[in-house]
Amino acid sequence: MPHNDAVESHYSHGELLEAIRSGVRQLGKTSETVNVEDLAPVDEFHIGGRIATEAFLDQLGLATNDHVLDVGCGLGGASRFAAQRYGCRVTGIDLTDDYVQTGEVLCEWVGLGDLVSLDRGDATATPYEDGAFDKAFMLHVGMNIENKELLALEMFRLLRPGGRLGVYDVMRMGDGDLRFPVPWATSSGESRVSTPATYRGTLEAAGFRVVAENNRSEFAMEFFTHLQANGNGAASSPLGLHVLMGGSAPEKVRNMIENVSQGRVAPVEIIVEKPA
């Protein structure tokens, strides 16, 4: 199976919109009354959830007149948060049709259809014009992308001079085999985890200048402790990550905790800028 097909198969749910609709009903809300904050527990499919998104995006200097690209947008949760918080226009792109179609519906539910649009496509070969975006970001996406050199070149092409790209990915830190399954892969054959040095090298080779790099391991362990205390999201909200990962959620979280705590991987932020 080609890698892109395997990635889409890993994330596809089949009845995702209905599962979210059911969670919304359990919150005592409807598609007319649900808001961006209500959706946050299912919308933010990365370590740290909404707290991590806010801290990450604040480093990009998003502004009202910006057109922003959300690379590997998933359900578009970060896209909707960015549009609501900063007032910017956001375009998201993702391989998984199930996520994109569901995300488009969620945008309409929360009244952000005019600011956020989601497209199905490959982040290494997008349909957008050169210099189409002021800023771009990706949250836990590179672990599924094999050709990071091509990704970096595509991001450089898409950004206007002076634009910033933020990467928040799980990156390889130490020796030892990773324990699977994890949220982004069922087995090692689906995983494309790389080191921070690899990310920096490919981004700089594409023409970017590195602005900042932050290892978020300590934050990740605090997040996982809280997540486990709340039944991996099930106890804290009917819209927890169990909606996306199903019955495999506890095992995937346990494995992620082990991988991070043993120093095999860590969530890392890298902020780069395209020279003006």
Domains, the chain, in order of start with CATH, read: 3-273 (3.40.50.150)
Q: Residue 47 and residue 50: Cα distance in Å, rounded? A: 9
Instruction: State the chain's mean pLDDT as an integer.
Output: 92
Scan for tokens 């480093």, then name that residue. Answer: 59
Are the CB atoms for 118 and 104 separated by under 8 Å?
A: yes
Q: Provide the pLDDT confidence category of residue 240 given band limits of 50, 70 and 90.
A: confident
pTM listed for this prediction: 0.93
Average pLDDT over residues 62-90: 97
User: Closest Cα to residue 184, out of 255, 101, 121?
Assistant: 255
Scan for tokens 């009903």, then name that residue. Answer: 25
Q: Residue 137 and residue 185: Cα distance in Å, rounded? A: 21
User: Is the pLDDT assigned to residue 89 strictly greater than 50?
Assistant: yes
pLDDT value at residue 23:
94
Q: Provide the pLDDT confidence category of residue 235 given band limits of 50, 70 and 90.
A: very low
Residue 193 per-residue DSSP state = -
